[in-house]
Structure 1
Amino acid sequence: MTSETSDVHARFGTIGIWSGALHPADPGRRGEVSEAVAELDELGYGTLWIGGSPSMEEVVPVVDATRRITVATGILSIWQHSAADVAEQIARIEKRHPGRFVLGIGVSHDALTPQYARPYSEMVAYLDALDAASDPVPAARRVLAALGPKMLKLSAARAAGAHPYLVTAEHTAQARATLGPDALLAPELKVVLDTDLDRARTVARETLSMYLQLPNYTSNLLRLGFEEADFTGGGSNRLLDALFALGDLDTARARVDAYRAAGADHVALQVLTADPHSDLPRAEWRELAAAFSLGRP
């Protein structure tokens, strides 16, 4: 592990927050988002993941509103943004906020991207372009959205590591074996803080049903031993229990412990509510920060 990669690992911390509501469609909500991310910074989380395929323009207000926390894209689609433009924008962020931004990139999904083709080769070409930019983006300052073995190996060879989304602790163990001991492994984990298990599963299924329409995810789950029957009705209980932390704070801690024991360096928590695309669940973020003893002296 190089000193630069080691520094990135340290900057990520062990617990982060992932939210797709941090680049709101309504410009009038930007003040609310700035207040929320400033609080997440103060709560002691290591990394703030801007979910839902953000643009670099949407990253800037989040970095500007914080002072310590690492900010990462989770993830920026390589099909929607040229590598040259991204590298130029990152260079501007780096001048203002040295060392606080990490580029998370991925190939998205066939169903969501008309130009989707040869995803692995296109990712390699994108990384080559980031390296060749007038202001290159160092490998230690980027992570890849990776599920399968080929993309995981690329994450170890050409980036700081991997940010797998919608994965189990078992996948985390397999990913660690593929990545080797040094690469960063930062899986996302969805959390529903509700002790009424039926109600928590309802919230989980409302979110999961969308992802179960995307073959990249279902193919990965099939490789992990799930069956097509697990994908019906928004997901079987077995599938929900493997992919989510459903219940109280002790449940969330136990699930994170399982991912960490499987080889995760960092776990990005996505708190689900009735509308995770717009809600900023600040009360739950505070509760989780306290449960993981994240507060800084």
Structure 2
Amino acid sequence: MTQNWGMTIPFYDRSLSKAQDLIAELPALGYTDVWSAEVNGTDGFVPLALAAQWAPQVRLGSAIVPVSTRGPGLLAMSAATLADLAPGRFVLGIGASSPAIVERWNAGTFAKPYARTRDTLRFLKRALAGEKVSEAYETFEVKGFKLERAPKTPPKIVLAALRPRMLRLAAEEADGAITNWLAPADVQKVRAEIGPDTELIARLFVCVDEDTERVRETARWMLASYLTVPVYAAFHDWLGRGEVLRPMHEAWAAGDRQAALKAIPDEVVDDLIVHGDAATCRARIKEYVANGLDTPVLAPLPGAMPIDQAVRELAPEA
């Protein structure tokens, strides 16, 4: 597989409306991909639609769009629109997301996350191929849906996957797996579940800053907010960090946020956040690649170096 080098858009320090010039610069810097996200900022599709015009050479991917915040038909329509804008260059990343995003923020139902993701994948493969779909899946039923204009080139579909069952689904029925919050040494364990031929994509949080203590202080807030989510807690149990993260989980459950932050060991922060000078960060990213990561998707964090400069200095051709 050709080595990819991705960038997360939009950037942390600017709105999408002010990102055009930097996004347009990415191909010349050697970035092959841009990947959006969808939590509580921009949605997963609009940034990619704009990037399709601003940087027409790059591959576009969503990492990820939840399967329970849109109906299956609407999700198919959005994917078809992007596939039409960027034929052969759009990758639809979908996943279960979390109870907070699905239920508390979007008034949806977070139930049977594995089955809902599997069912959505199977529906989308048929719908995006132009089929008329009438099917009673385990988690929803579709009656007579057919895209008015199916894309000439259906997009590849990749799954957010953190543990063996979903990773195997990604390998067996999708076109790749997306993961998050892992160390270089964790890649081999994830890769073992999907085999050598399935694309493995991961978002890597990178802070170009040589002030280690400052980076750790900021990173602890990010780590606590993610690793206390049940799916990520289970992921890191599987990766072998259950005991070392237990004090953090206990303090968080007790409502003591400061104690939870202090309980995250330095080595965990350093494992999961790429930081240091630009050369050190690039070398660390290459460790992920050496261990089996096909597509690192960088997410530069605010630090001593301005983000636009960090984007340039983290490029593979820097």
Give the TM-score taking structure 1 as reference length.
Answer: 0.83
What is the deviation of 1:20?
Answer: 5.3
Moved more, 116-125 or 242-251: 242-251
Aligned to 2:187: 172
Task: Identify which of 22, 28, 50 aligns with 1:42.
Answer: 28
Aligned to 2:314: 288
Q: Alignment partner of 1:185: what SS?
A: strand
What is the deviation of 1:213?
Answer: 2.7
Task: Identify which of 259, 265, 288 aligns with 1:259.
Answer: 288
| Cα separation, 2, equivalents of 1:52 and 1:167 | 19
Count of equivalent residues = 274
Unaligned runs of 5+ in 2: 104-108, 131-149, 250-259
Aligned to 2:80: 91
What is the deviation of 1:136?
Answer: 7.4
| Cα separation, 2, equivalents of 1:78 and 1:59 | 18
Give yes or no for contact 1:14–1:46 (8 Å, CA) kept in 2.
yes
Q: Alignment partner of 2:60: what SS?
A: strand
| Alpha carbons of structure 1 residues 214 and 102: separation in structure 2 relative to 1, 3 Å | same
* Residues 12-53 of structure 1: CA deviation (Å, up to 9, x unaligned): x4321124548x8xxxx4431222211223322011111234
The code of the aligned residue for 1:229 comes to P
Aligned to 1:4: none
Q: Does 1:219 align with 2:234?
A: yes
Q: Name the structure with the higher helix share.
A: 1
Structure 1 residue ranges, 4+ long, deviating more than 6 angstroms after superposition: 136-140
Aligned to 1:116: 110
The code of the aligned residue for 1:40 comes to L
Q: Alignment partner of 1:187: what SS?
A: strand
Q: Alignment partner of 1:48: what SS?
A: strand
The code of the aligned residue for 2:247 comes to A
Aligned to 1:128: 122
Identity rate of aligned residues, in percent?
30
| Cα separation, 1, equivalents of 2:214 and 2:192 | 36
What is the deviation of 1:129?
Answer: 1.2
Unaligned runs of 5+ in 1: 1-8, 275-279
Task: Identify which of 155, 162, 165 aligns with 1:150.
Answer: 165
The code of the aligned residue for 2:289 comes to R
Q: Alignment partner of 1:71: what SS?
A: strand
Give yes or no for contact 2:44–2:63 (8 Å, CA) kept in 1.
no
Give yes or no for contact 2:35–2:48 (8 Å, CA) kept in 1.
no
What is the deviation of 1:58?
Answer: 4.4
Q: Does 1:81 align with 2:67?
A: no
Q: Does 1:17 align with 2:41?
A: no
